[in-house]
Amino acid sequence: MICISAPRTQDELLQRVADIAGLSLATLANRCGQSVPEQQRNAKGWAGQLVEQALGATASSRAEPDFQAIGIELKTIPVNANGQPCESTYVCTVPLVDQIETSWQDAWIRKKLSCVLWLPIEADKSIPFARRRIGNAILWRPTVEQDAILKQDWNEHMELISLGRINEISAHHGTYLQIRPKAANSHALRNTTDEDGNLVKTLPRGFYLRTQFTARILTERYL
């Protein structure tokens, strides 16, 4: 396990991410003193953590951006042969008890999305995992219009949650931002309050950005 110091400026981070563009996961893993898992299935977050290490992110520290000092969140994003995202993107846990009364301005998810460095990684199943390559990163901040849509989605979701109606929310809801299960399995349970204010258990959820939304982020240039 080789440790890299945190980048001190945005430019330094952009330089580092440019330096790894085009590398295969095997090559990057080798540089980092790691070996590539045989199957991605049993190592779903591995590539994301490898890149964090390679770029000098503050490893797995919580409640902070990946690059805390410069306020940048890193997200790897699996892309197909056309460079289009294959998957929705997990952002953070949905609050079920605490902080359900805060505003969009102060919402944790808004902070996480305020400045994201998107790093595409080849995900075509026909490419062996170790040979998949890292693409060119895109630094993104939500436009005013995007922020407005996200805010509206978030408001609608949180309205239902504060009314104790989380079980009525499906992944169909939300234009850009959806809510889906985020758990070890479908039997996992977390506390929340129902319509009558009683403490009850429910499946833990996460906020996800829809694939179509991240597809537009990757194709348009914002900065």
Partner DNA sequence: ATGGATCCACCTATGGATCCCT
Partner DNA sequence: AGGGATCCATAGGTGGATCCAT
> Where does this chain bind DNA (CB under 7 A)?
40-49, 51-52, 59-63, 66, 73-78, 86-90, 92-93, 121, 123, 170-172, 178, 180-188, 190, 203-204, 206, 208, 210-212
Q: How far is the CB of 196 from DNA (least distance, A)?
A: 22
Given strand 89-93, what is the order of strands in its sheet? 89-93, 205-209, 177-181
Residue type, 87: E
Residue 133 CB, nearest approach to DNA (Å): 13
Q: Find tokens 């790894």 and name the residue.
A: 20
Return the number of the residue (144 or 149) whose C-beta is nearest DNA. 149
Of the pair 148, 188, the CB lying nearest DNA is at 188
> Nearest distance from residue 52's CB to DNA, in Å?
6
- The least CB distance from residue 188 to DNA, in Å, is 7
Q: Which is nearer to DNA, 144 or 154 (CB)?
A: 154
Minimum CB distance to DNA smaller for 92 or for 160: 92
Is residue 180 within 8 Å of 205, Cβ to Cβ? yes
Show the tokens assigned to 194.
């129902």
Q: How far from each other are the two terminal CA atoms of the chain, in whole angstroms?
A: 34
User: Minimum distance between the CB of residue 92 and DNA, rounded to whole angstroms?
Assistant: 4
Tell me whether residue 66 or residue 153 sits nearer to DNA (CB atom).
Answer: 66
* Residue 196: exposure state from Cβ atoms within 10 A (0-12, 13-18, ≥19): exposed
Cα(83)–Cα(113) distance, integer angstroms: 21
Residue 164 token pair: 């104790």
